[in-house]
Chains A and B, each alone.
Chain A
Amino acid sequence: MTRPASVLAGPKSRPPIHSQGDKTIEYAEKLLSVFILVPFAGSLIAIFFPSDQRGAISWFAGAIALVCFLVTAGLYPYVASGGVLHYRIDWVPELGLNFTLRMDGFAWLFSALITAIGVLVALYARYYMAEEDPVPRFFALFLAFMGSMLGVVLSGNLILLAVFWELTSIVSFLLIGYWHHNAHARDGARMALTITGTGGLAMFVGLIIIGKIVGSYELDAVLASGDAIRNHPLYGTVLVLVLLGALTKSAQFPFHFWLPHAMAAPTPVSAYLHSATMVKAGVFLLVRFWPVMAGTEAWFWIVGLAGLTTLLLGAYFAIFQQDLKGLLAYSTISHLGLITVLLSLGSPLAAVAAVFHIVNHATFKASLFMAAGIIDHESGTRDIRRLGGLFHFMPITATLAMVASAAMAGVPLLNGFLSKEMFFAEAIETHLVNPLDTVTPYVATIAGMFAVTYSLRFIHGVFFGRPPADLPRKPHEPPRWMRAPLDFLVLACLVVGIIPAQTIGPFLHTAVLSVLREGTPDYSLSVWHGWNIPLIMSFVALSGGIGLYFLMRSYLATAVEGPPVFRLLQGQRIFERVLVTLSWKWARWLEQRLGTRRLQPQMRLLVFLALAAGASPLLLGNFELPPLVIRGIDPAFALLWAIGIACAIGSAYQAKFHRLASLVLLGGAGLVTCITFVWLSAPDLAVTQLLVEIVTTVLILLGLRWLPKRIEEPVAAEDISIRVRLRRLRDLLLAIGAGGGMMLIAYTVMTRPLPETIASYFLERAYREGGGTNVVNVILVDFRGFDTLGEIAVLCIVALTVFALLLRFRPQSDSLEAPEQQKVQNAFDDDHPDRAAGDSVAEYLFIPAVIMRWMFPVTGMLAAFLFLRGHDLPGGGFAAGIAMSIGFILQYMSGGTRWVEERLRIHPLRWMSIGLLVATATGVGSWFFGYPFLTSHAQYASLPVVGKFPLASAILFDLGVFSLVLGATVLILIALAHQSVRAPRAHAKAARSDKEAVR
């Protein structure tokens, strides 16, 4: 369903390669799906690796990343000079939801970054992860992250973008919490997820509003309608929402504090997610929407203020970190702030600098993280105060780290210098006349100075000075291949720094061209621009930074973690205070005000709300009651209903003290309903109703045993307080209101003339297209098969919930004891040496039990009968499943839990999952024949003896329904049955321990 390539690309962005024919383009566009499929498939496979195969699995992950990288590299010609590739699968085109992948130059640059650094990190992680770490989980998450991140950058649809965006947050959460035995890791992970997830949600809302403004969620359409978005009255709202997403993800002030805490993650994760890729998603989004949203006053103020604050504070905080990774984390925050400031300025040249710095920062920061990891790995600590003089032990790593941190500081001839020069040049330009613009160059210089200071601190504090005496391990050079990624990245820093135009130049140009289109400015990527103000600013920053470091050196060598004064104002503390208030204090308060642990008020509230919700539209929208017409009453039918009504009222009346009687009466009302269905010619409903009635009655009967006892105290009528009377009156009125409302609705619906319904449509086509004469069943399994699939999934969830609730169910102490009869029988059996426990009941039940056991195959036959005739006559998978479960219930009743489970294999969970799988697989199966999901195929088959019977492919689907219904019912049954086995045992145990305590 991919659309022809050239439709969206437009005449302007048509790449020159088009002349080679549309065939290659189409092929290239298909390749885009590789970016999503391969990493996620790899992630699934990686889970199943044995955990001692560290080498194999990292090779596997590296190979997957490499494949993605090679595909990226191969696609370059198609996106160079402004080409755009699209790959689209329509999902719900009516709602604008399509699976659209879109690669332009900028997305290409990001994909290249993600996949290339992915390869290096996979290699690095192979040596970094310890023997005892669960490596398959790590690499599975790593690959899943790569897939989601590629999804973010390649999404061509806003909704898809939001989905992948949240996926990166979730995978990041799991990766930060990888060592979940560590409390820091858990807290850091939770914090990161809360912040980025909340931001992502805000962004999602923003994206939906954008989609509404533009009228399409496709990125191409959005990028083409910048003016419409900027001039829309909702622009402010959209801006704030989208920026919330971007700024939280990129750890911008005031949301920056999650990133340092995310450093509890394994170092490869920090290198990959929290420096090179995921935190760049925020600035990626800013660049993506730069052409349509930037350039306004609001954009300038919000983005600029956040960026400048982050730039300055991040750099300042980084100086005072004692943890190597903490220093790098704050430095990352500061550099992301720099990129954000560049994007706030609204000038194309600044945007070029921003894109350039994204790449540069990724290279040097990833290598620095890897170096920090090596230092931690080989020396056993990351505390700068304890480290020192490592140059002697690991000279090569030290040199590499020094080059990388020089790039971070912005030393000439390295890549960091180039983008920083561009930043300085942009900072001194005047873009808008306001105070923020005026302070930018000064802030930039000061932040540059701080950057030099912390880079120097990193180098000097770790590699020079006195060699440490008390390190946990004796440091040495890492294995050759652990250092290889570092070599490569540092080489990249150097090469890009010295000959930028020949190396990164064309790729940068492609990326910038795709963002800025016609507005792409002329810029020069040379190292030497002559003596100008930016160069002077660089020198001021360099010399100032060096001076600052030597002034503060002695303080830093002994200081506690964190910057002075600000240390007291910790983001984490504020965050946790807010969380506690929100999720504990306020929630508790609300629960105390509104909540109750008793069932009755909850039910009352539920019924009341339902009544109000149902009544309000009727009362507001002048609803007219249809005239009451009484005619043609069949006396037999009226009598039947009188019995039914009497049963229902009696059931309600008896519900308080005589539950059993109430249940029996309820069954009577159910039977009347069932007969009504027969009367009104709805045999399908009648069969199902009858079976459901039987099963529910039995299950409730089993559950009755565990309800708390009600103490019936005779209270004289005049003793009942007025409050109780009022309460009862209110409940009665509520019940009458709800019941009467249902009656009115039913009456109104039934007395209206039927409009042109689809019933005739189904009646006409049931046999012709569905191959069945039982229209109800054909509708269920064929025409509306997708609904049924959803319904059985819900049934599955409900059964599991009931099971889970019953599994944790601890009965009231008064119903814990065995029933009196059982105790008497057991005592009798115990007193007679020739009798075993349970003999009495077995004797009494002997003949009925045998007959009930014999009924099992017969019930099975009935179920098969209902199942097979389902397509043409009343019956079907649902009825058959319930009928079969009655067979099981009979077995449990006659033989007892242990007896049955010794003889039959009862695996309700398995049956349910098989049922769901079969039903889904039937639906998917029609894809292989080129039809839409759940297309049915019908024909007749014949068996000896049975004769001809319909064999539609829907029967397989029905088989799934059967299996799931059977599993769900039996699951609830055994949950109750096991309760009976478990409770006496627990009770006996408690009694025994009590006895021992007395002794």
Chain B
Amino acid sequence: MSHLTDLPPWAALLVCGLMLVGAATTLIGSLGLLRLPDFYARLHAPTIATSGGTILLCLASILCFAVLQSRWVFHEVLIIFFVTVTTPVTLMLLGQATLYRDRFEEQQGVPRKQKPAPGEE
């Protein structure tokens, strides 16, 4: 493996840009988790962090190591795939659980459950 200094300038610039934007996106997502007013809104913030931030960071990684070793790197593709597929599951579970509880406790401002359309089941 070659050293990082072997990276050509154009690639270095690109990698840096991707990294910075990715990190910023993640930071914004985290801030959102902290700042947004209610639970449902807060659920969306980490999604930005994971989907956006992770993809950008992984792209940076792919670019960097592809140029350095002059071959394509697939690990990051898998990572992107897994993270984008699995994070929503967690958030969906959390969201559904909250929705269920709020409906059960008949909280204000919670969407009512629609009647399942006939033939849908």
Q: How far apart are B61's CB and chain A's nearest CB, in angstroms?
A: 16
Complex Cα spacing A854 to B86, Å: 10
Contacts of B116 in A (CB 8 A): 843
Is A847 an interface position by the 8 A CB rule?
yes
Interface residues of A (CB under 8 A from B): 821, 824, 834-835, 839, 843-845, 847-848, 851-852, 854-855, 858
9 smallest beta-carbon distances between A and B, as pairs: A848-B89, A844-B96, A848-B92, A851-B89, A848-B93, A847-B92, A844-B100, A851-B85, A852-B89
Contact partner of A851 (CB less than 8 A), chosen from B86, B100, B104, is: B86
Contacts of B88 in A (CB 8 A): 851
Chain A, interface SS category: helix
Cβ contacts B100-121/A at 8 Å (1 or 0 each) = 1000100000000000100001
Asked if B100 contacts A858 (CB within 8 A), the reply is no
Asked if B92 contacts A858 (CB within 8 A), the reply is no
Closest chain A residue to B85, Cβ basis: A851
Q: How far apart are A866's CB and chain B's nearest CB, in angstroms?
A: 13
Complex Cα spacing A844 to B93, Å: 8
Complex Cα spacing A839 to B120, Å: 13
8 A–B pairs (Cβ distance < 8 Å), ordered by A = A821-B104, A824-B104, A839-B121, A843-B116, A845-B93, A845-B96, A851-B85, A851-B88
Is B82 an interface position by the 8 A CB rule?
yes
Contacts of A845 in B (CB 8 A): 93, 96
Complex Cα spacing A975 to B79, Å: 33
Asked if A821 contacts B89 (CB within 8 A), the reply is no
Known contacts A824-B104, A834-B121, A848-B89; decide if A858 and B82 are in contact (CB<8 Å).
yes
Q: How far apart are A690's CB and chain B's nearest CB, in angstroms?
A: 14
Q: How far apart are B6's CB and chain A's nearest CB, in angstroms?
A: 23
Q: How far apart are B75's CB and chain A's nearest CB, in angstroms?
A: 10
Interface residues of B (CB under 8 A from A): 82, 85-86, 88-89, 92-93, 96-97, 99-100, 104, 116, 121
Complex Cα spacing A854 to B99, Å: 25
Contacts of A852 in B (CB 8 A): 89
Contacts of A851 in B (CB 8 A): 85-86, 88-89
Complex Cα spacing A38 to B100, Å: 70
Known contacts A824-B104, A834-B121; decide if A855 and B86 are in contact (CB<8 Å).
yes
Contacts of B100 in A (CB 8 A): 821, 844
Residue with the greatest number of chain A CB neighbours at <10 A, chosen from B89, B92, B96, B100 = B89
Q: How far apart are A186's CB and chain B's nearest CB, in angstroms?
A: 56
Complex Cα spacing A533 to B12, Å: 117
Contacts of B86 in A (CB 8 A): 851, 855
Complex Cα spacing A852 to B88, Å: 11
Contacts A839-B121, A844-B99 known; list 15 others, CB within 8 Å: A821-B104, A844-B96, A844-B97, A844-B100, A845-B93, A845-B96, A847-B92, A848-B89, A848-B92, A848-B93, A851-B85, A851-B86, A851-B89, A854-B85, A858-B82
Q: How far apart are A694's CB and chain B's nearest CB, in angstroms?
A: 12
Contacts of B82 in A (CB 8 A): 858
Q: How far apart are B4's CB and chain A's nearest CB, in angstroms?
A: 18
Complex Cα spacing A975 to B60, Å: 45
Q: How far apart are A853's CB and chain B's nearest CB, in angstroms?
A: 11
Q: How far apart are B88's CB and chain A's nearest CB, in angstroms?
A: 8
Closest chain B residue to A825, Cβ basis: B100
Contacts of A824 in B (CB 8 A): 104
Contacts of B99 in A (CB 8 A): 844
Q: How far apart are B92's CB and chain A's nearest CB, in angstroms?
A: 5
Contacts of A858 in B (CB 8 A): 82
Contacts of A847 in B (CB 8 A): 92
Contacts of B121 in A (CB 8 A): 834-835, 839
Q: How far apart are A861's CB and chain B's nearest CB, in angstroms?
A: 9
Closest chain A residue to B104, Cβ basis: A824
Q: How far apart are B54's CB and chain A's nearest CB, in angstroms?
A: 17
Complex Cα spacing A834 to B120, Å: 12
Q: How far apart are B68's CB and chain A's nearest CB, in angstroms?
A: 19
Complex Cα spacing A843 to B100, Å: 11
Complex Cα spacing A854 to B88, Å: 14
Residue with the greatest number of chain B CB neighbours at <10 A, chosen from A824, A834, A839, A844 = A844
Contacts of B97 in A (CB 8 A): 844
Q: How far apart are A947's CB and chain B's nearest CB, in angstroms?
A: 12
Complex Cα spacing A858 to B82, Å: 9
Complex Cα spacing A854 to B89, Å: 12
Complex Cα spacing A839 to B93, Å: 16
Complex Cα spacing A845 to B92, Å: 9
Complex Cα spacing A699 to B96, Å: 22
Q: How far apart are B117's CB and chain A's nearest CB, in angstroms?
A: 12
Q: How far apart are A824's CB and chain B's nearest CB, in angstroms?
A: 7
Q: How far apart are A701's CB and chain B's nearest CB, in angstroms?
A: 13
Contacts of B85 in A (CB 8 A): 851, 854-855
Complex Cα spacing A414 to B35, Å: 108
Complex Cα spacing A482 to B99, Å: 84
Complex Cα spacing A844 to B102, Å: 14
Closest chain A residue to B100, Cβ basis: A844
Contacts of A835 in B (CB 8 A): 121
Complex Cα spacing A855 to B82, Å: 9
Complex Cα spacing A848 to B89, Å: 5
Closest chain B residue to A861, Cβ basis: B78
Closest chain A residue to B118, Cβ basis: A834
Contacts of A843 in B (CB 8 A): 116
Complex Cα spacing A847 to B82, Å: 16
Complex Cα spacing A675 to B57, Å: 19
Q: How far apart are B120's CB and chain A's nearest CB, in angstroms?
A: 10
Contacts of B104 in A (CB 8 A): 821, 824
Closest chain B residue to A849, Cβ basis: B89
Q: How far apart are B99's CB and chain A's nearest CB, in angstroms?
A: 8
Q: How far apart are A203's CB and chain B's nearest CB, in angstroms?
A: 64
Closest chain A residue to B94, Cβ basis: A848
Q: How far apart are B84's CB and chain A's nearest CB, in angstroms?
A: 11
Closest chain A residue to B90, Cβ basis: A848
Closest chain B residue to A850, Cβ basis: B89
Contacts of A839 in B (CB 8 A): 121
Closest chain A residue to B91, Cβ basis: A848
Q: How far apart are B65's CB and chain A's nearest CB, in angstroms?
A: 16
Q: How far apart are B25's CB and chain A's nearest CB, in angstroms?
A: 21
Complex Cα spacing A854 to B85, Å: 10
Closest chain A residue to B97, Cβ basis: A844
Q: How far apart are B46's CB and chain A's nearest CB, in angstroms?
A: 16
Q: How far apart are A684's CB and chain B's nearest CB, in angstroms?
A: 18
Contacts of A854 in B (CB 8 A): 85
Closest chain B residue to A840, Cβ basis: B100
Closest chain B residue to A893, Cβ basis: B93
Complex Cα spacing A824 to B103, Å: 12
Contacts of A855 in B (CB 8 A): 85-86
Complex Cα spacing A858 to B83, Å: 13
Complex Cα spacing A19 to B86, Å: 82
Complex Cα spacing A904 to B92, Å: 26
Closest chain A residue to B82, Cβ basis: A858
Complex Cα spacing A392 to B109, Å: 106
Residue with the greatest number of chain A CB neighbours at <10 A, chosen from B88, B96, B99, B104 = B96
Closest chain A residue to B116, Cβ basis: A843
Closest chain B residue to A865, Cβ basis: B78
Contacts of B89 in A (CB 8 A): 848, 851-852
Q: How far apart are B72's CB and chain A's nearest CB, in angstroms?
A: 14
Complex Cα spacing A773 to B99, Å: 51
